[in-house]
């Protein structure tokens, strides 16, 4: 049943931290993007506009903190393939993330990376500031590889070379490598560990139906769903075999039946030492008959994988889904949207889509959408402001999907852009990253804003 109300953060029952704002500079085709994130955020735009690049920037931070910057770059073809190309002086790649927890704790983590010759790179600046509800500020800040003091209250501008008010300083490794992030190596207070835990608990899913159809060896029941959903059979088997997940199993089954009418359930069957997905279909006379996943359409398999990602036992703090509506009948997107809204009460959900189907769902608020287009070969991100929420965002999204190359109409850009800038200025907890000088990453206002 379609929800009769719009779900906002006030309706959430989720107890973990979440991302509240992400700012990206010079990442792939993104010159600058500053996006507020809610419990559910849907990026709408045509193929190649930049929505996937924005999500990848978030995943890049997560992988860099888990495996190291070198591996995160190598997975993407090196820094030369990731950093936005420019004429003249090369720009540093920069990312800043704001976070919040239900207990009133706020945090910001940011860094920028400078490219060097031969695919080498250096972390030019990095900072992590945490402000607890009943605790003083904690964190660290590095500039050009050297710590510049203790911690400061969030939102305080810290120009290069100035002294920092005393707080709870965090001991940094004496020989911190310039080609890696300090947050990976800091053995600091629990507040910093919470930041690291949140940022490393980000799962992006782009299911591969070919991999999903292949029988696999039984996996560790604690293993989360892989990005390509190649271990979907093992994750589903663990869910079905755990009585504590019975409710999630039933919810998953009922939602899949709405997305793919005729399919009663997906199950797991053994083939020797391997296991594979099996679907149960209505036989037309009150019973069911099974058939293997090789007979299922790609769209149904993708939809099942996305639903499994939202219901798995080891649910990431942020679940990013790439085009979950791909291959589905337009009539099935309502059930998929309902599943996204329901899951956003338990975890943060980030969705990219190239279709207008979600725009018509009455349960999804206007402030959920971020419109992605292109202007002068650079991605542009527009979302409703706080002063005029939702004004024209759906119309702008539909226009972005129909205009050539995802270009937004100049008038729409100017109107929505001014609205977004006013919203960013009103958000006292969100200040843009400054890259006015090479390597400088401040909490100061951006002169372009």
What are the tens digits of pLDDT across the range 59-115? 999 999 999 999 999 999 999 899 887 665 668 999 999 999 998 999 999 999 998
Q: Is 449 among the domain residues? A: no
Range of weakest confidence among 237-246, 344-353, 398-407: 398-407
Give the chain's end-to-end CA distance (angstroms, integer).
Answer: 43
pLDDT tens, position by position, 237-257: 988 888 778 888 888 888 888
pTM (two decimals) = 0.82
Residue 321 tokens, joined: 């889904």
The answer to whether 109 touches 99, Cβ cutoff 8 Å, is yes
What is the Cβ-side half-sphere exposure of residue 155, based on CA atoms within 13 angstroms? 8
Q: Is 443 among the domain residues? A: no
At a CB cut-off of 8 Å and minimum separation 6, what does 377 contact?
29
Q: Which residue has the higher pLDDT, 178 or 133?
A: 178
The model's confidence at residue 347, banded by pLDDT at 50, 70 and 90, is: very high
The answer to whether 293 touches 302, Cβ cutoff 8 Å, is no
**404 and 347 both lie in a single domain:** yes
Q: Is 432 among the domain residues? A: no
The model's confidence at residue 159, banded by pLDDT at 50, 70 and 90, is: very low
**180 and 97 both lie in a single domain:** yes
CATH number for the domain spanning 23: value is 3.40.50
**197 and 235 both lie in a single domain:** no
The answer to whether 94 touches 434, Cβ cutoff 8 Å, is no
378-384-387-389 Cα dihedral, nearest 10 degrees = 170
**374 and 404 both lie in a single domain:** yes
**310 and 398 both lie in a single domain:** no
The model's confidence at residue 172, banded by pLDDT at 50, 70 and 90, is: low
Q: Is 53 among the domain residues? A: yes
Q: Which residue has the higher pLDDT, 72 or 299?
A: 72
DSSP 13-39: ---S-EEEEEEEEEETTEEEEEEE--S
**120 and 224 both lie in a single domain:** no
**302 and 392 both lie in a single domain:** no
Question: Mean per-residue pLDDT for 383-409?
Answer: 67
Q: Is the pLDDT of residue 309 over 90?
A: yes
Q: Is 104 among the domain residues? A: yes
Q: Is the pLDDT of residue 225 over 90?
A: yes
Find where tokens 């790649």 sit.
Answer: 93
Q: Is 442 among the domain residues? A: no
**221 and 347 both lie in a single domain:** no
Nearest-angstrom CA–CA distance, 11 and 421: 27
Q: Is the pLDDT of residue 8 over 80?
A: no
Residue 102 tokens, joined: 């239900």
Q: Which residue has the higher pLDDT, 343 or 435?
A: 343
Q: Is 217 among the domain residues? A: yes
Amino acid 164: pLDDT: 39
**165 and 22 both lie in a single domain:** yes
Q: Is 254 among the domain residues? A: yes
Question: What mean pLDDT value characterizes the chain?
Answer: 78
Q: Is the pLDDT of residue 447 over 70?
A: no
Range of weakest confidence among 183-192, 266-275, 311-320, 338-347: 183-192
**275 and 404 both lie in a single domain:** no
Question: Mean per-residue pLDDT for 114-125?
Answer: 88
**Nearest C-alpha neighbor of 314 from the set 185, 155, 202:** 202
Amino acid 317: pLDDT: 95
> 3-class SS at 371?
strand
The model's confidence at residue 410, banded by pLDDT at 50, 70 and 90, is: very low
Amino acid 435: pLDDT: 33
The whole domain housing 341 covers 10-201+316-426
- When divided into structural domains, the chain yields a total of 2
């Amino acid at each position: 049943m379609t929800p009769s109300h719009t779900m906002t953060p006030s309706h959430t029952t989720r107890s973990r931290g979440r991302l509240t704002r992400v700012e990206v500079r010079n990442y792939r085709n993104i010159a600058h993007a500053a996006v507020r994130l809610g419990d559910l955020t849907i990026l709408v735009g045509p193929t190649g506009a930049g929505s996937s690049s924005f999500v990848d920037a978030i995943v890049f931070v997560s992988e860099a903190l888990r495996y190291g910057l070198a591996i995160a770059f190598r997975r993407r073809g090196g820094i030369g393939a990731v950093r936005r190309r420019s004429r003249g002086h090369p720009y540093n790649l920069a990312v800043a993330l704001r976070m919040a927890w239900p207990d009133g704790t706020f945090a910001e983590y940011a860094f920028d990376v400078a490219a060097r010759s031969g695919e080498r790179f250096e972390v030019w600046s990095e900072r992590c500031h945490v402000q607890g509800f009943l605790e003083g500020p904690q964190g660290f800040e590095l500039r050009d590889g050297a710590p510049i003091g203790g911690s400061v209250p969030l939102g305080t501008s810290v120009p290069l070379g100035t002294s920092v008010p005393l707080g709870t300083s965090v001991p940094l490794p004496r020989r911190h490598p310039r080609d890696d992030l300090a947050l990976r190596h800091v053995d600091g207070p629990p507040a910093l560990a919470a930041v690291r835990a949140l940022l490393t608990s980000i799962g992006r899913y782009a299911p591969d139906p070919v991999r999903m159809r292949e029988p696999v060896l039984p996996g560790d029941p604690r293993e989360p769903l892989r990005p390509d959903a190649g271990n979907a059979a093992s994750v589903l088997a663990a869910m079905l075999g755990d009585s504590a997940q019975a409710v999630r199993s039933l919810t998953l089954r009922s939602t899949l039946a709405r997305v793919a009418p005729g399919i009663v359930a997906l199950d797991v069957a053994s083939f020797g030492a391997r296991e594979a997905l099996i679907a149960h279909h209505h036989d037309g006379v009150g019973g069911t008959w099974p058939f293997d996943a090789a007979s299922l359409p790609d769209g149904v398999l993708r939809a099942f994988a996305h639903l499994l990602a939202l219901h798995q036992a080891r649910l990431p703090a942020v679940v990013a889904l790439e085009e979950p509506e791909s291959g589905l009948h337009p009539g099935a997107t309502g059930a998929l949207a309902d599943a996204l809204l329901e899951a956003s009460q338990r975890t943060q959900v980030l969705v990219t889509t190239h279709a207008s189907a979600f725009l018509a769902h009455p349960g999804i608020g206007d402030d959920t959408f971020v419109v992605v287009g292109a202007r002068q070969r650079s991605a542009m991100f527009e979302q409703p402001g706080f002063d005029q929420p939702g004004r024209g965002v759906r119309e702008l999204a539909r226009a972005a999907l129909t205009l050539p190359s995802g270009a937004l109409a100049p008038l729409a850009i100017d109107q929505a852009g001014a609205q977004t800038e006013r919203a960013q200025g009103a958000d006292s907890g969100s200040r843009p990253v400054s890259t006015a000088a090479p390597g400088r990453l401040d909490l100061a206002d951006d002169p372009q804003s």
